[in-house]
Structure 1
Amino acid sequence: MAFVKLSPPDHPEAALVEAAGLRWLGQAADDGGAPVVSVRSASRGSGHEQDGSAERGRLELKELPTATPDEQAGVEFGRALARTHGWLARQRGAQDNGPTPTADHEGFGVLPPEHPAQTPAYFGPAEQPLVMGTGVHASWGAFLALERLDPMLQGLAPELTAADARLLHAARDRIAAGELDDAEPPALIHGDLWSGNVLWTPAASGAAASGEAHSGSAHGGEAHGGAVRGTLIDPAAHTGHRETDIAFLHLFGLPQLDAVMRGYQQEFPLSTGWQDRIGLHQFFCLGVHWLLFGGSYRGPTLRAAEQVLQL
């Protein structure tokens, strides 16, 4: 059976954008990274016609049942995610030792190779994606500020008090200045890795390597027994800072999170102090939640901005 997602009429390329991200992550999965939902087909929508009709973009994925993860599943997912984050560095190393060095994925903000031309990056729920920038930067802070925080802050502007705006823009400016950059190279990241975008599925059902899986209310029900794998779905894939994925995993209570982090640290340890930087990496995502889902996210967003200024 297939799971089908339709693009919003005003974003006819959204299905192709998501498919491009899944396929890029799937390349890392084939090299030992985290399993990824496979794409059966993806098509572009027509956009709005003069009569108001629109043929919507279509993304078709294979459904799989879900399962409850145990501690070992968490550890294995953490190890696999670490391998995804290290995949581009391994690719660079292999090519640098070959006949032609690579420069394809240098910089923060590189989009998947199959990302459709002249199309923005998207972030957020499929039914109301937010348009993000597509610039590539040598500095992670410049990328985050210009291509992610600025669109978010522009959208939030009507909701902000003067004090809110001063705090949020002060945090943004500190990030943009590169004061919080470090030596981490650009990594292939999922980009929206909150707990709802990790599908736990029985390994026997085919979610191995870049095996096929999908989430949501239309999955095939919960299976019990046997090994379980964490599978990536619904990405906003780009080259970013790997701590961003880690921080997003801490937002909404991922099952077996302690085990996931244990496996990750065994495979590809994070830099010292990563826990202190969770707020820095959640700042953008929390701001988007405020923009999309209302003022209940005002407090968490402002606290994350305060944490940025305290680092």
Structure 2
Amino acid sequence: MDQAYLRAHPEHLPTFLTHQRIRETPVGGGSVSAANRLTLDDGTSLFAKTWRSGTAPEGFFAAEAAGLAWLREAGAPVPETIVALPEIIALEWIEPGEPSRAGAMRFGRDLAALHRSGAEAFGSEWPGFIGPLPLDNTLSRGPWGSWFGERRLRPYLKISADRGALSATEIALVEKIIKRLAEYADGEAPSRTHGDLWPGNVLWASDGRAWLIDPAAQGGHRETDLAELALFGGLAHLETVIAAYQEVHPLADGWEARVPLHQMHLMLVHTAAFGGTYRDAVRIAAEAALRAV
């Protein structure tokens, strides 16, 4: 089994893995997917992901492959998809490295170029996922505020409330944000975005480049991608990334104040998927977001 054969016959990959015809080395993964490095007979490696428990939701890996292809056609640094089947996705192997200032400068320019390539509408042409949860990608011409409130905040607010992950205080705060967003004026056209750009979804490679992985790709607001880079401790060399980005595709005045607003989507996804551990983070972000809308 070499890469040429696998490209020609991707449907055979699960059989080869079942019969241990390909060497697998676990490389971790997240709470959703298990990840392995596959070493092929020609010496090349692939990065493969499977659903961690049971059967993957229908279309889960197809959505990732579609998003990677959409980002790739705009020149974004994303790994090539070699195999995309209902139960597994295999990508080209990117040798990990360390963050650097030079890599951050290039990443800022790469991200700006991706956003500038644009999108026809908010959402995407394929059903999406964000972590383990469905993502409503029904295409919308906007405005952004009402789309973000109804398609990116409300569904995960409801799941979070139903599972008891948020108290009445957080629920009321987010409802107030959604209400204000319905009338929020924002002139930004849809950008081609990664859609789930927390720091863990940036892979620093041994060649110094930063790669985008695990996308929830969609037409969205470019400030959302940038705001998510600041979550969970923040991306290494984030100030350098932003400075390089600004040189290529300057942000609108006041973008810093809107960071908590754009972080609200991913915060609610976390309470919806993982529970009340993130409750305080939702409250703090919501209080700050209300000052921006």
Task: Output one character per residue of 1:84-124: Cα deviation in whole Å (capped at 9) or x when no partner.
Answer: 00012xxxxxxxxxxxxxxxx4321134xxx3xxxx32101
Residue number in structure 2 paired with 1:284: 265
Residue number in structure 2 paired with 1:133: 136
Does the 8 Å contact 1:37/1:231 carry over to 2?
yes
1:285 to partner: Cα distance: 0.6
- Across the aligned residues of Structure 1 and Structure 2, the Cα RMSD in angstroms comes to 1.5
Residue number in structure 2 paired with 1:40: 82
Does the 8 Å contact 1:190/1:235 carry over to 2?
yes
Q: 2:111 aligned with 1:81, yes or no?
A: yes
Q: 2:177 aligned with 1:163, yes or no?
A: no
Residue number in structure 2 paired with 1:147: 151
The CA distance in 2 between the partners of 1:85 and 1:284, in whole Å, is 19
| Equivalent residues, number | 242
Residue number in structure 1 paired with 2:205: 201
Q: Indicate the SS of the match to 1:41.
A: strand
Residue number in structure 2 paired with 1:244: 224
1:17 to 48, 63, 73: 63
Q: Indicate the SS of the match to 1:67.
A: coil
1:291 to partner: Cα distance: 2.4
1:107 to 121, 124, 131: 121
The CA distance in 1 between the partners of 2:116 and 2:83, in whole Å, is 28
Q: Indicate the SS of the match to 1:9.
A: coil
Residue number in structure 2 paired with 1:64: 94
Q: 2:284 aligned with 1:303, yes or no?
A: yes
Q: 2:188 aligned with 1:184, yes or no?
A: yes
The CA distance in 2 between the partners of 1:10 and 1:59, in whole Å, is 11
Does the 8 Å contact 1:15/1:42 carry over to 2?
yes
1:196 to partner: Cα distance: 0.7
1:10 to partner: Cα distance: 4.9
The CA distance in 2 between the partners of 1:178 and 1:130, in whole Å, is 28
Does the 8 Å contact 1:109/1:240 carry over to 2?
yes
TM-score where L is the length of structure 1: 0.74
1:23 to partner: Cα distance: 0.5
Q: Indicate the SS of the match to 1:2.
A: strand
The CA distance in 2 between the partners of 1:295 and 1:157, in whole Å, is 10
The CA distance in 2 between the partners of 1:85 and 1:302, in whole Å, is 29
Does the 8 Å contact 1:109/1:143 carry over to 2?
no
Does the 8 Å contact 1:108/1:240 carry over to 2?
yes
Question: Unmatched 5+ residue regions in structure 1?
Answer: 45-56, 89-104, 204-227
Residue number in structure 2 paired with 1:97: none
Does the 8 Å contact 2:122/2:219 carry over to 1?
yes
* Letter of the 1:189 counterpart: T
The CA distance in 2 between the partners of 1:84 and 1:27, in whole Å, is 10
Greater RCO (Cα-Cα under 8 Å, separation 6 or more): 1
1:189 to partner: Cα distance: 0.1
1:163 to partner: Cα distance: 2.7
Does the 8 Å contact 1:167/1:302 carry over to 2?
yes
Question: Unmatched 5+ residue regions in structure 2?
Answer: 1-44
The CA distance in 2 between the partners of 1:12 and 1:305, in whole Å, is 33
The CA distance in 2 between the partners of 1:15 and 1:162, in whole Å, is 35
* Letter of the 1:121 counterpart: G
TM-score where L is the length of structure 2: 0.78
The CA distance in 2 between the partners of 1:310 and 1:171, in whole Å, is 10
Does the 8 Å contact 1:135/1:143 carry over to 2?
no
1:151 to partner: Cα distance: 1.4
Evaluate the alpha carbon distance shift between residue 199 and residue 10 of structure 1 in structure 2; reply closer, same or farther with a 3 A threshold.
Answer: closer
Residue number in structure 2 paired with 1:232: 212
The CA distance in 2 between the partners of 1:178 and 1:241, in whole Å, is 16
